[in-house]
Structure 1
């Protein structure tokens, strides 16, 4: 498939443009297929672009979870991208976020999400890698333009379309935290760009928080005026990518060939402060396949690229009063939706998780005592019976201790963090009603 770029012909750049790429590289160790070969191919393609359209000024990467992969990318790209940064956190591997840049980096920091899955979901790993927002503050790319603040993230994944496994509440709370960072950086007179695999479809609650509460605009929608989100199933896989910006679950992707047409979606974004950033191009990238014998896609996602101009420092434009008034009703609606989401989770999921883990912990204590007493009575029957009792006791102690720790050190902090978000939204809602 070609990497055709659709452009907005109405916009003629009058100042140096910045070209950005965001890409989820699917770098799960032992799980991602052809990981090493794909990472080498990604590094080579970034380091040796075959056309000016594939030569980026800033590259934001997600799922760089292996040190060897990051070292491979660094080594290949060190000449083209002299400014590089990978972010660290979590118990295993880290958040998988990295940035490559031709523009000098002035400052970086990582904001770790306080609400990010549960430690009991070790088979999913979101909690253990310490997902968050990797913030990179750049110097002005031409000395006159506003400096860029890039917020790169890979938000909690949905493991189901609904229910507890969907983790919709977690992503909504992460989006709320995201918007606070966005608003602070906008007030600090940065040209704010939010990128990454946000695991949120257009129109979802997190997406509405980004665009309404955070005041950001979808660069794809600004360039491509026609919308296809409501009739994706009617488009061919090629047109889904070309006209609707699909980056995930495309049947053109070798790792997603069995996906249903309705599963195709757009999860990878560059959301921008459109008062100070003007996008002129937007396209889906890395859609071609690697040559034989691999004959596979670069990742299970396609990449997303946008090219834009940035206002000069003298032309910094805060949100207008008219824009703020237009969003008042919309803000009230999303506050109510977020409060309902958090309240339901706190009312049903948290009590369920806390109760059964707490009961298991104390029940394990009782069973352990009973087994110790029982050893006295069965030891004279047969010599092997106490050994069985000992093994059962070890299993009971270990499982009870683990569940007790998850209850006390996992569920309880999660409940408090959710309560904090709820109070923050209530404060914002009360302030809005007073206007």
Structure 2
């Protein structure tokens, strides 16, 4: 017997914090994560995991969830793996691991982003027999923000990664499939990266769909301070702001002295819900884009979104990860309910279900005066709104239009997606900011390349000098020291030289040029210029290659 089409799809994304040899209590936490996923209510249909680095942990979670999530894929990337996995209720028809062209630096080995080959885990999941009954899932973990402020040299990498995610999502939506982007994006809602994804791809941030007035950053961030809101409590940050990271209720964010109060056999340590939360923020997201509405005969709505997996380990008392999960449920709403005729594609477009926002606007602004209704209190209005949201959810896209509009973020320009024939774009000043950041990073890398190349030649000369000095050395231990210093120095200089010649002047330089061309080309289109020009044509300063490297 064939399984009926789902009317709801429940989603979970979780950064598991599963770094081998580094993450504390990794095995115990991973086992409990799998157990809690299996017990979750509602049962998840698609789960995206980040920082699940080992096959051992992946198999442990798969074993726990095998009855509700029988399909899964562990993604391999880089020398140490990408840490990404996707679990599914339905079969995974296709799978791809897309590695980011710009992804950290090999010299920052103590950070590891380059070595794990970060990218996007892509999966096509079929939930029904129809040609458009497909969910395209994109699971990612972008470059971590190790630096802050104007000197953040990794801003260029995260911007380029958000750009690549937007391209993947845009292509999937154009294929007419339901699209999900899930993961740890290492960005806050007011960031440039967030605006790139929600403006250049027809997807919506599911949390902001239901909580449009939620925080745009932690309490101390300038964009959030500009809203003049009071410092949120831990409870408010979880329920309204969706702050799944860095909050006081996560035990891995506690001071070492507090963490010592946890452990097997020790009493549970609770955090009062009214504790002020200065640092809690959103880094984990679920973005969703609708499929082809006429082909589906309806529209997907956001029914609910919440922060989940907040329980503690039953024996150890610690949080299951240094992030909480982000969960969302999408509900399918048919376009028509006509019982006298068969629904057609035209009927779907011409007779849509009115989105909740329109229903509320009609109920509150266009209704005729009625003495009985005038007695309705604010509580009644709230109940009406809640009832409508429960029944219909909030649309990812209005069934009456083929264009898409992201929810505007306070203090940020409104996305300028106007028609299916006009490519989605950002404000021109945003493209200029991206290009300025790209140029700044390029200058930094050129200076680094020059220094590393000089370092190599300097140690070649020093080594030759040491070899000559050995010939005239009066004592054996002096000769030994000269040989040791020259050997170590030459090895360090050789590594620096290879980095400069093979990486900075090779893969990274070409990736920077590609990214720069795409941004300049998109800016030209947004400004009404010609698309697809050669590098630098029409740009100040001559050839575009010279402008970047």
State whether TM-score is above 0.5. Answer: yes
Give the number of aligned pairs. 414
- In structure 2, how many angstroms separate the alpha carbons of the residues matched to 1:308 and 1:387? 70
8 Å contact kept, 1:223–1:281? yes
Deviations 1:241-291 (A, max 9, x none): 111000110110001135993321101000111575311100000112112
Kindly state the Cα deviation for residue 333 of structure 1 after the two structures are TM-superposed: 3.5
Kindly state the Cα deviation for residue 372 of structure 1 after the two structures are TM-superposed: 1.1
Indicate how the Cα distance of structure 1 residues 398 and 277 shifts in structure 2: closer, same or farther if over 3 A, else same: farther
1:224-373 paired onto structure 2 within 5 Å: 224-229=211-216, 230=224, 234-258=231-255, 261-274=277-290, 277-292=300-315, 294-310=316-332, 319-320=402-403, 324-325=417-418, 330-347=426-443, 349-373=444-468
- In structure 1, how many angstroms separate the alpha carbons of the residues matched to 2:404 and 2:485? 68
Kindly state the Cα deviation for residue 404 of structure 1 after the two structures are TM-superposed: 1.0
Is 1:74 aligned to residue 62 of structure 2?
Answer: yes
8 Å contact kept, 2:200–2:425? no
Of structures 1 and 2, the one with the larger relative CO (CA 8 A, separation 6+) is 1
Is 1:40 aligned to residue 35 of structure 2?
Answer: no
Say which SS state the counterpart of residue 121 (structure 2) adopts: strand
Kindly state the Cα deviation for residue 80 of structure 1 after the two structures are TM-superposed: 2.1
1:114-153 paired onto structure 2 within 5 Å: 114-141=101-128, 143=130, 146-153=133-140
RMSD: 2.5
- Match for residue 101 of structure 1? 88
Say which SS state the counterpart of residue 355 (structure 1) adopts: helix
Give the number of the structure whose alpha-carbon radius of gyration is greater: 2
Kindly state the Cα deviation for residue 166 of structure 1 after the two structures are TM-superposed: 5.3
* Greater Cα shift, 361-370 or 220-229: 220-229
8 Å contact kept, 1:241–1:247? yes
Kindly state the Cα deviation for residue 234 of structure 1 after the two structures are TM-superposed: 1.4
Indicate how the Cα distance of structure 1 residues 310 and 209 shifts in structure 2: closer, same or farther if over 3 A, else same: farther
- In structure 1, how many angstroms separate the alpha carbons of the residues matched to 2:457 and 2:528? 48
Say which SS state the counterpart of residue 63 (structure 1) adopts: strand
- In structure 1, how many angstroms separate the alpha carbons of the residues matched to 2:495 and 2:249? 43
Is 1:200 aligned to residue 187 of structure 2?
Answer: yes
Kindly state the Cα deviation for residue 34 of structure 1 after the two structures are TM-superposed: 1.1
- In structure 1, how many angstroms separate the alpha carbons of the residues matched to 2:123 and 2:61? 18
- In structure 2, how many angstroms separate the alpha carbons of the residues matched to 1:367 and 1:280? 68
Say which SS state the counterpart of residue 300 (structure 1) adopts: coil
Deviations 1:305-333 (A, max 9, x none): 00003578966978428872399774433
Say which SS state the counterpart of residue 418 (structure 2) adopts: helix
Kindly state the Cα deviation for residue 81 of structure 1 after the two structures are TM-superposed: 1.3
- In structure 2, how many angstroms separate the alpha carbons of the residues matched to 1:377 and 1:112? 54
Deviations 1:5-39 (A, max 9, x none): xxxxxxxxx96100000000001112111111100
- Match for residue 87 of structure 1? 75
Kindly state the Cα deviation for residue 79 of structure 1 after the two structures are TM-superposed: 2.4
- In structure 2, how many angstroms separate the alpha carbons of the residues matched to 1:399 and 1:25? 36
- Match for residue 377 of structure 2? none
- In structure 1, how many angstroms separate the alpha carbons of the residues matched to 2:230 and 2:51? 28
2:508 to 390, 414, 425: 414
- In structure 1, how many angstroms separate the alpha carbons of the residues matched to 2:517 and 2:138? 25
The structure richer in helix per residue is 1
Structure 2 unaligned regions, length at least 5: 217-223, 256-274, 292-298, 335-343, 350-398, 406-415, 530-549
Indicate how the Cα distance of structure 1 residues 96 and 15 shifts in structure 2: closer, same or farther if over 3 A, else same: closer
- Match for residue 433 of structure 1? 527
Deviations 1:373-427 (A, max 9, x none): 111111xx11222111121122012101111111112222212211210111111
Kindly state the Cα deviation for residue 213 of structure 1 after the two structures are TM-superposed: 1.1
Deviations 1:147-175 (A, max 9, x none): 11111000000112225555111000111
Indicate how the Cα distance of structure 1 residues 44 and 329 shifts in structure 2: closer, same or farther if over 3 A, else same: closer
8 Å contact kept, 2:153–2:441? no
- In structure 1, how many angstroms separate the alpha carbons of the residues matched to 2:511 and 2:455? 24
Q: TM-score, normalised by structure 1?
A: 0.89
Indicate how the Cα distance of structure 1 residues 232 and 215 shifts in structure 2: closer, same or farther if over 3 A, else same: farther
8 Å contact kept, 1:232–1:240? no
